[in-house]
């Protein structure tokens, strides 16, 4: 049963005790919840959000708190809200509290039930948009921040159910037309299908790419699944789920897909466009950094969870691939000022082992923007590398997962954050965070996206700003002991996120505008904020989403010397 029949009322102010009550009861259903709770629905002018929400934090009696609110007429005739004796710090913290409460409220509304059990969260509940399209489904990748929020809050059941049910879905036969997909493929999304509403028979309908736009299977789903299984295991201290035959099998199948032999000369995973968070044509086909970083992290997580009696060859295969992938990404994806200068001076048409320009990248193909964008201090893993092609775009998710997984060396991790600091305007702007930078425009947009009207410049996947990415920025800032960066981004987000009803993405160079076609009450925007907040409040949560450096990152980029194999 889906708990989200109605969109969350705007700026409803929950009473803190009810928040706790709701989160502690994983089996609640919507009507009961409505009766049980005494949530005050207060529709009000947006400018009052801060002061209204201040109320519940400093006092648990909402009536008394309401008395502290003074609604006065401004000289211009408009309403204006203020609280007595408020210091700026109180205002900030109570504003934050109100956002958090609104976010928990929205997250709870997004919970999806299957046979009476919570199993996930819908992508968005935006009744203002006509067709729900597939936003009424539980997306695997979208559920990750929800799951982390639930875990950090002590709600494990929904995460366990999700892991168990999706492992079951994986074992289904998956067909696209007449072609049978690999066993290990995990769904992009699923929904509860009510076969017979009177008998209350429910089943799960999954989409493995066969109904998705572009018909692409999600390569990231399985990798995220492994990351989540580890997070669950770390947080609960309960190994029994990870050790269960179904979970061991699911891990094997996911990784066997990725490790299968082919004609490739690269240890990176070859992917189709649209196989991950950027699920439309955006020129990320080939070996996108997002997938490579997730693959690296998933292999490391799996090694920590595969049972002792696992197939030794399989384990050794994973270990070797981790090293090869790490070497590859460090050697060919890492870019900083020095390396850019080296590539700029590349010779082409090199042959043999001594070639420096191994992929035959023509220096003239280096885009102009990168020369200005690259700061003296900082660096990052570029988007993609394949023959004669380096995609110099910055992709946020891949770089931050590289830090969390310790694919990036300590130095590189610092350099990535240095870059974020140096290029704050471009990468964070007014609303964190840019999914990629820069946007493609004009003819490049036409050719690369296939004239995608949703991915116009500085919108959606094409340089749009995605609030969900905040949790990753906070996680890496906490990991590197630079929480001021996280706070700075949080503050920016808190100015708008709840007021704008938790949009899916923002548009514009600085991310100032709510996205053209962005859904409101997008669950991962909600959950991403909550995870970010909980991580900042309690950095020990980091242990469930980060891996320590165990030496893989010693595979540094080889020092470039002049090649002796160029003509």
> Which residues are at the interface with ligand GLC (CB under 6 A)?
123, 139, 141-142, 277, 279
Closer Cβ to ligand GLC, 144 or 385, answer by number: 144
Closer Cβ to ligand GLC, 212 or 547, answer by number: 212
Closer Cβ to ligand GLC, 97 or 141, answer by number: 141
Closer Cβ to ligand GLC, 394 or 524, answer by number: 524
Least distance CB 161 / ligand GLC (angstroms)? 20
Closer Cβ to ligand GLC, 524 or 555, answer by number: 524
Which three-class secondary structure string do you get for 173-239? CCEECCEECCCCCCCCEEEEEEEECCCCEEEEEEECCCCCCCCCCCHHHHHHHHHHHHHHHHHHCCC
Least distance CB 537 / ligand GLC (angstroms)? 26
Q: In 3D, which of 224, 334, 311, 299 has the Cα closest to residue 550?
A: 299
Least distance CB 530 / ligand GLC (angstroms)? 17
Least distance CB 34 / ligand GLC (angstroms)? 26
Residues 520, 126: Cα–Cα separation, whole Å:
5
Least distance CB 239 / ligand GLC (angstroms)? 30
Least distance CB 122 / ligand GLC (angstroms)? 9
Residues 46, 471: Cα–Cα separation, whole Å:
25
Residue with the closest Cβ to ligand GLC?
123
Residue with tokens 């425009």: 441
Residues 405, 423: Cα–Cα separation, whole Å:
23
Closer Cβ to ligand GLC, 252 or 281, answer by number: 281
Least distance CB 181 / ligand GLC (angstroms)? 19
Q: Is 333 helix (H, G, I), strand (E, B) or coil?
A: coil
Burial class (CB in 10 A: 0-12, 13-18, 19+), 21: middle
Residues 201, 189: Cα–Cα separation, whole Å:
20
Q: In 3D, which of 494, 375, 391 has the Cα closest to residue 438?
A: 391
Least distance CB 406 / ligand GLC (angstroms)? 25
Residues 278, 294: Cα–Cα separation, whole Å:
14
Q: 136-171 as b/e, with b when 16 or more CB fall inside 10 Å?
A: bbbbbbbbbbbbbbbbbbebbebbbbbbbbbbebbe
Burial class (CB in 10 A: 0-12, 13-18, 19+), 59: middle
Closer Cβ to ligand GLC, 96 or 393, answer by number: 393
Least distance CB 15 / ligand GLC (angstroms)? 30
Residues 86, 89: Cα–Cα separation, whole Å:
8
Nearest 5°: the CA angle 247, 215, 260 is 45
CA 245 to the chain's CA centroid = 28
Structure tokens at 146: 């929800």
Q: Is 139 helix (H, G, I), strand (E, B) or coil?
A: strand
Closer Cβ to ligand GLC, 141 or 234, answer by number: 141
Q: 217-232 as b/e, with b when 16 or more CB fall inside 10 Å?
A: bbbbbbbbbbbbbbbb
Closer Cβ to ligand GLC, 279 or 418, answer by number: 279
Closer Cβ to ligand GLC, 227 or 356, answer by number: 227
Closer Cβ to ligand GLC, 39 or 122, answer by number: 122
Residues 332, 340: Cα–Cα separation, whole Å:
11
Peptide bond into 546 cis (omega under 30): no
Q: Is 111 helix (H, G, I), strand (E, B) or coil?
A: strand
Closer Cβ to ligand GLC, 373 or 460, answer by number: 460
Q: How many residues does the chain have?
A: 567
Residue with tokens 């987000």: 493
Least distance CB 208 / ligand GLC (angstroms)? 14
Least distance CB 384 / ligand GLC (angstroms)? 18
Residues ≥6 apart with Cβ < 8 Å to 31: none
The answer to whether the Cα torsion of 534, 540, 545, 546 is positive or negative is: positive
Least distance CB 441 / ligand GLC (angstroms)? 20
Closer Cβ to ligand GLC, 141 or 330, answer by number: 141
Least distance CB 187 / ligand GLC (angstroms)? 12
> Are the C-beta atoms of residues 301 and 528 closer than 8 Å to each other?
no
Residues 302, 321: Cα–Cα separation, whole Å:
13
């Amino acid at each position: 049963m889906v708990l989200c029949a109605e969109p969350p009322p705007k700026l409803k102010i929950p009473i803190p005790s009810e928040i706790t009550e709701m989160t502690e009861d994983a089996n609640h259903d919507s009507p009961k919840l409505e009766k049980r709770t005494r949530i005050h629905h207060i529709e009000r002018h947006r400018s009052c959000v801060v002061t209204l929400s201040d109320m519940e934090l400093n006092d648990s009696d909402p009536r008394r708190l309401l008395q502290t609110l003074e609604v006065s007429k401004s000289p211009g005739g408009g309403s204006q809200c203020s609280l007595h004796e408020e210091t700026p710090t109180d205002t900030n913290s109570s504003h934050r509290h109100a956002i958090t409460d609104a976010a928990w409220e929205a997250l709870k509304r997004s919970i999806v039930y299957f046979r009476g059990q919570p199993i996930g969260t819908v992508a968005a509940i935006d009744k203002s948009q006509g067709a729900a399209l597939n936003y009424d489904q539980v997306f695997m990748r979208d559920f990750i921040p929800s799951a982390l929020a639930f875990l950090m809050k002590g709600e494990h059941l929904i995460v366990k159910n999700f892991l168990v049910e999706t492992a079951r879905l994986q074992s289904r036969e998956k067909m696209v037309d007449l072609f049978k997909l690999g066993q290990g493929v995990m769904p992009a999304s699923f929904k509860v299908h009510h076969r017979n509403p009177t008998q209350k028979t429910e089943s799960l309908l999954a989409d493995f790419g066969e109904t998705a736009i572009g018909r692409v299977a999600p390569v990231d789903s399985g990798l995220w699944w492994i990351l989540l299984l580890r997070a669950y295991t770390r947080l609960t201290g309960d190994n029994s789920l990870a050790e269960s035959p179904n979970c061991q099998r699911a891990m094997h199948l996911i990784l066997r897909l990725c490790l299968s032999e082919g004609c490739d000369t690269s240890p990176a995973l070859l992917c189709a466009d649209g196989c991950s968070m950027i699920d439309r044509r955006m020129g990320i086909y080939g070996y996108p950094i997002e997938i490579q970083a997730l693959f690296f992290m998933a292999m490391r997580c799996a090694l920590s969870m595969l049972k002792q009696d696992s197939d030794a060859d399989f384990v050794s295969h994973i270990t070797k691939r981790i090293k090869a992938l790490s070497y590859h990404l460090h050697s060919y994806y890492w870019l900083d000022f020095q390396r850019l200068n080296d590539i700029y001076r590349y010779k082409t048409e090199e042959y043999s082992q001594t070639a420096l320009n191994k992929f035959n990248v023509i220096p003239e193909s280096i885009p102009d923007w990168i020369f200005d964008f690259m700061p003296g201090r900082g660096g990052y893993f570029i988007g993609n590398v394949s023959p004669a092609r380096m995609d110099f775009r910055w992709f946020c998710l891949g770089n931050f997962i590289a830090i969390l997984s310790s694919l990036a060396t300590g130095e590189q991790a610092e350099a990535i954050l240095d870059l974020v600091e140096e290029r704050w305007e471009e990468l964070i702007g007014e609303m964190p965070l840019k999914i990629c930078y820069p946007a493609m425009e004009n003819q490049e947009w036409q050719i690369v996206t296939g004239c995608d009207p949703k991915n116009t410049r500085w919108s959606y996947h094409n340089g749009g700003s995605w609030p969900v990415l905040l949790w990753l920025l906070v996680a890496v800032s906490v990991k590197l002991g630079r929480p001021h960066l996280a706070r700075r981004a949080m503050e920016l987000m808190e100015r708008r996120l709840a007021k704008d009803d938790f949009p899916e993405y923002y548009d514009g160079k600085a991310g100032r505008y709510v996205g053209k076609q962005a859904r409101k009450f997008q669950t991962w925007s909600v959950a991403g904020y909550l995870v970010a907040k909980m991580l900042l409040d309690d950095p020990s949560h980091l242990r469930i989403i980060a891996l320590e450096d165990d030496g893989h990152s010693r595979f540094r980029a080889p020092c470039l010397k002049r090649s002796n194999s160029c003509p």
